[in-house]
Structure 1
């Protein structure tokens, strides 16, 4: 590949990444505004509900157009927004490669469910000893976790749309067999779809619920953030020990 083509590919990938980061930042902003409303102030709460409703409607439109635009660009350019790396996707020996990825991730700061992830970007994670890296989006983290759990217990995974733990009091579903039930359906396996119109913190909360549903200790999920890795790389460049 010529240097010119590599440059174009890098620009396309960066634009796709920026588009996804804007989407995730807008979802995080919605969370921040809602949490900063005085819920004991009736007028403020009513105004907040009206704002949230209007915001969600526009976010749904934005998500749809952003997803269509991203898909169009990726199909035409053959450039993907991210290509997560794991032992399964590597040509190297599976177990040895998995251990190598874990050692690489362990050089960074580990983070756990329950932390605040707004405006933070994922880089990799380890779940039940299975490691992934080179992740860009929280949606990708969510999809990969679901994929791992589907392999762990296919029957339990197939029944997620029927699990009341993933249905809100208003009847909104986190999982469904019908994509029309969801605002932003994310195709998983075995005909199951997940709601993907979620902020980083909402995804983290649902991952916790999923681990509970599959009887997996939450401490077995460790997330690594891109800013920790970037900061470490910058220190290496500057010669800081």
Structure 2
């Protein structure tokens, strides 16, 4: 037996890797929940909350780095890849039509919904589909890549777009990955901040649709829980 497969089956290894990604994204969602629950009218409670969030985010950054390293190490050793079951229709019209047909059997979700503690499965953006996705970060990456193909200059211009620069000067898109908490390489020399919860990514996608003048109903998300429920209901 292959030593790399002797401790668990490939399916089990994949499930553990997916669970690790889910924990990372749920911890980001939890930070949103805690921040929203802090009483801004109570100065003492607000100060305590800010201190907690500062420490929490430091621990989260360390955990995220460790989880990334563990995931990469396991995937390399076992040859079990998180993206192995992904399908996109970017370069093949027939594959795209099949992916969209399969996704349309499930319930679509819009950029106006709450995705806290929910996991993605697929997306359709402007008639281009992708399925087999496991993380919201991957959803964000595919959206950025599709928009890059659609209008490279417009996406690159977001580096200096005021809507993508926070009041503290934090850039959502940049040529320098160093200041980012978690840099997502969109293309060589262009990076996006991806240390975002599911709803944070939803908000960024909504902003991108606005900048690219794409109607919101052209963006559909599909959730794993809907897919799995459909499989259970099948005889």
TM-score, normalised to structure 1, is 0.91
In structure 1, what is the equivalent of residue 32 of structure 2?
A: 31
- Deviation per CA, 1:122-165, whole angstroms, max 9, x where unpaired? 01010000000011100000000000000000111222212221
SS in 1 for 2:178: helix
Q: How far has the Cα of 1:67 moved from its partner?
A: 1.0
In structure 1, what is the equivalent of residue 105 of structure 2?
A: 107
Show structure 2 runs of 5+ residues with no match: none
Contact 2:90 2:128 in 1 (8 A): no
Q: How far has the Cα of 1:76 moved from its partner?
A: 2.2
In structure 2, what is the equivalent of residue 128 of structure 1?
A: 126
In the alignment, the residues of structure 2 paired with residue 190 and residue 165 of structure 1 have an alpha-carbon distance, to the nearest angstrom, of 23
Q: How far has the Cα of 1:87 moved from its partner?
A: 2.2
In structure 1, what is the equivalent of residue 187 of structure 2?
A: 189
- Deviation per CA, 1:153-186, whole angstroms, max 9, x where unpaired? 0111222212221111011121111110101111
In the alignment, the residues of structure 2 paired with residue 79 and residue 157 of structure 1 have an alpha-carbon distance, to the nearest angstrom, of 33
Contact 2:88 2:129 in 1 (8 A): yes
In the alignment, the residues of structure 2 paired with residue 160 and residue 12 of structure 1 have an alpha-carbon distance, to the nearest angstrom, of 38
Counterpart mapping for 1:222-241 below 5 A: 222-236=220-234, 239=235
In the alignment, the residues of structure 2 paired with residue 72 and residue 176 of structure 1 have an alpha-carbon distance, to the nearest angstrom, of 28
Q: How far has the Cα of 1:8 moved from its partner?
A: 2.4
Counterpart mapping for 1:36-55 below 5 A: 36-55=37-56
- Deviation per CA, 1:65-109, whole angstroms, max 9, x where unpaired? 1111211222222221233201247xxxx2222112111111111
SS in 2 for 1:222: strand
The answer to whether residue 82 in structure 2 is matched with residue 81 in structure 1 is yes
In the alignment, the residues of structure 2 paired with residue 31 and residue 14 of structure 1 have an alpha-carbon distance, to the nearest angstrom, of 26
In the alignment, the residues of structure 2 paired with residue 106 and residue 40 of structure 1 have an alpha-carbon distance, to the nearest angstrom, of 46
SS in 2 for 1:188: strand
Higher mean Cα deviation, 56-65 or 75-84? 75-84
Contact 1:158 1:190 in 2 (8 A): no
Corresponding residue pairs, total: 232
Show structure 1 runs of 5+ residues with no match: none
TM-score, normalised to structure 2, is 0.93
